[in-house]
Structure formats: structure tokens, C-alpha cells
Amino acid sequence: MAPAVGQIEGSLHVFPMRVYYEDTDAAGIVYFANYLKFAERARTELLRTTGIDQSALRAERGIFFAVRRAEVEYLKPARLDDLLNVVTELVHMSQVIFDARQSIRRGTEELARVFTRVVCLSVEGRPVRVPKDLRELFLPLLRSGEDGVDRPQGRKQA
């Protein structure tokens, strides 16, 4: 498994990154869809940091994680060459899903918020329980006492 990028700070995972030319539009502002890519990279590195190798998980256990829902709130633009941190916290976990709230920041300035619901699937595409050993790896990162913070009004949980 490749070495992880980023670090755990308390119950948060902090993933540092730079905005490259390919991430921006002609004005040098990060293209809106790329915030989802930044969030995905950070969640991948969070898994690596906890010792989860996604390729091995699929090959050896026949399961993988897939995004079921993603929502982005854009607050301020990121620009070419900005140094960013994607801060990830797990805010809810059930037998099959976990919810992550991510904040994309330039220094102390929050630029975007991403809420993601991730489901554990079999290679056949059916929802399956997250194995106990993996759930135990996530527990130290789970924010205690909260269940799906910032979930949009009127939507039901999976």
C-alpha cells in the first residue's frame, strides 16, 4: 500500500493539497466540480491513514466503498497555486454507511463544505455491512454524540 498523505488531528483527518492549473478555469478559479475531486482524494487518504487499502479490500474481501450522495456548498473561490487543507470528520456511521463532512480551507478561511454519504457494497453492487474490524478503525474518527450533522431538511436517512 502506498504511504498515506495527511494526518489525523484528534478526530479529524487533514489532507494538504495545492491548486494546480488543471484544477482551474480560464480565470484561474477552481472549477466547481473539482471540489468533489478534492474531497474524494481526502477520503481516500483518510482510509490509507487508518490502514485500509482499497485495492486489497476489493480483491481480498469482495467489498468496496462508493459515494451514495454528495452535496457541496460553495462559500469562496479557491485559486491557482492556493495551498488548501481538506479537513474530514466522520459524523455518522451505521452498519452499512458512513457520513463524512468535509471542509475545504485556505488557512483559516473556509471555501467549501462537502457532505458525503458513503455505502459499503459487494462486488455485485449490493449494500453489505462494513466489517467489524473496519468499523473499529473508524470509531476513533467518529464525532461523538452527533448523527448526520448538516443533513438537508426533509430527507430521510438510508
The residues annotated with a catalytic role in the active site are 25
Containing 89, the helix (H) or strand (E) segment is strand 83-93
| Exposed/middle/buried for residue 39 (C-beta within 10 Å: 0-12, 13-18, 19+) | buried
Which residue, 105, 97, 102, 96, is CA-closest to 42?
102
CA pair distance 25, 32, nearest whole angstrom: 9
CA pair distance 102, 73, nearest whole angstrom: 10
